[in-house]
């Protein structure tokens, strides 16, 4: 098992996000700014999704969005199809 920190650098608040992970198997997604902002973090197959139903957000800035425990080689881990919800609908 390897832990990969997923970084972020953004000028707007993040209210939710979804992305795909290729090249490795996701064992667990947790922590980082998503957990500190009380987001629900879920992973299934190669998809990670995080959100907060109460309108909490991740503030603009830089940091670790979340951590991924993976099975495989970190350099093979490719994040794609990143979608960010930047406002509450």
pLDDT digits (tens, 9 = 90+) for 61-87: 999 999 999 987 767 788 899 888 877
CA distance 6 to 8: 7
Q: Is 62 in contact with 6 (CB distance < 8 Å)?
A: no
The pair of three-digit structure tokens given for residue 4, joined into one six-digit string:
């990969």
- Quote the Cα angle for 57-83-35, to 5°: 35
- What is the DSSP code (8-state) at residue 61? E
Query: Residue 23 has what pLDDT?
Result: 86
Q: How confident is the model at residue 54 (pLDDT cuts 50, 70, 90)?
A: confident
Please give the tally of structural domains in the chain.
Answer: 1
What domain range includes position 16? 2-85
Which CATH number goes with the domain that contains 72? 2.60.40.680
In terms of Cα–Cα distance, which of 67, 75, 55, 68 is closest to 26?
68
pLDDT digits (tens, 9 = 90+) for 24-46: 989 999 999 999 999 999 999 89
């Amino acid at each position: 098992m390897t832990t990969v920190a997923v970084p972020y650098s953004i000028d707007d608040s993040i209210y939710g996000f979804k992305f795909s992970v290729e090249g490795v198997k996701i064992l667990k997604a947790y922590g980082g700014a998503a957990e500190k902002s009380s987001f629900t973090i879920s992973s299934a197959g190669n998809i990670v999704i995080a959100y907060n139903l109460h309108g909490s957000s991740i503030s603009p800035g830089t940091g670790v969005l979340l951590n991924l425990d993976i099975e495989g080689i970190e350099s093979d881990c490719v994040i794609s199809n990143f979608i960010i919800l930047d406002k509450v609908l």
